[in-house]
Amino acid sequence: MGIRLGLACSIVLGVLALSPTANAATQPAAQVASSGTPNIVAVGVGTAQGKPDVAELSLGVSTQAAKASDALSQNADAVNGLVQVLHAAGIKDVDITTEGLSLQPHFDVASSSINGYDASNFVSVRIHDLTKVGSIVDSAAQKVNDKIRINGISFSLDDTSRVLGKARANALTNARRHAQQFATASGVKLGKTLTISEAQVSVGTSAAAPQAVAAAPASTPTTVFSGSQPFTASVTVVYATKR
């Protein structure tokens, strides 16, 4: 798991002393130490890379028939076949969610009259064993043939706590390094940490662009690449200083 340090940071030096006539309520809190030396406020950003261990696969079936009832019936048969493939691969019902069900008429271009119906049903499949993704796609295509549709795939981490912890640690290191630079340039020594607040946590995605395409032929196994997933943490840290 790769790690890289912060993307950006900013430093704000507090004022040296309050004016005797100033209204204390209007002064920025935690920027002036009681000793009269400035506090340093640093914003640090840290990132860490995580390797995805869960795939979210959107796949389904599309059928056409002259009658709406026939289109739906054929679609239901194809979906049942698709679910059989998922169960055979060890996918539990709790990891299968219907995400799109539609029935639409299509029209004759010349007369604008209805000449048939298109039915589609998509499910989102949560796959915990990434080595099975390609074989699931291939088996589904073999089961329902040209009715198969793939609408995209994305990857994520089931447990993000460890990689987010590394991103936060990197953000703190980043903030302290820049605060030390400003302390040195200002002729003061960096003191203890006064406050730490997390400004933002973001989780990047490792995903393929959604598209409606047929799966690869059985003779050419489908291959997927999960890549890595970036996690970013941003913290604001206030440090005391001393002469």
Q: Are 61 and 146 within one domain? A: yes
Residue 222, domain member (yes or no): no
Residue 87, domain member (yes or no): yes
Q: Are 98 and 76 within one domain? A: yes
Q: Are 144 and 82 within one domain? A: yes
Residue 212, domain member (yes or no): no
Give me the average pLDDT of each 10-residue run along the chain (243 residues): 39 35 32 63 95 95 96 96 96 96 91 92 97 95 94 93 95 96 93 92 60 48 91 96 89
End position of a domain, from candidates 124, 156, 188: 156
End position of a domain, from candidates 129, 156, 183: 156
Q: Are 72 and 117 within one domain? A: yes
Residue 220, domain member (yes or no): no
- What's 115's domain CATH number? 3.30.70.2970
Q: Supply the pLDDT for residue 37.
A: 77
Distance CA 143, CA 101 (A): 20
Residue 211, domain member (yes or no): no
* Domains contained in the chain, number: 2
End position of a domain, from candidates 122, 156, 190: 156
Q: Are 134 and 65 within one domain? A: yes
- What's 9's domain CATH number? 3.30.110
Residue 209, domain member (yes or no): no
Q: Supply the pLDDT for residue 171.
A: 97
Q: Are 149 and 129 within one domain? A: yes
> What is the span of the domain harbouring residue 89?
54-156
Q: Supply the pLDDT for residue 110.
A: 84
Q: Are 64 and 110 within one domain? A: yes
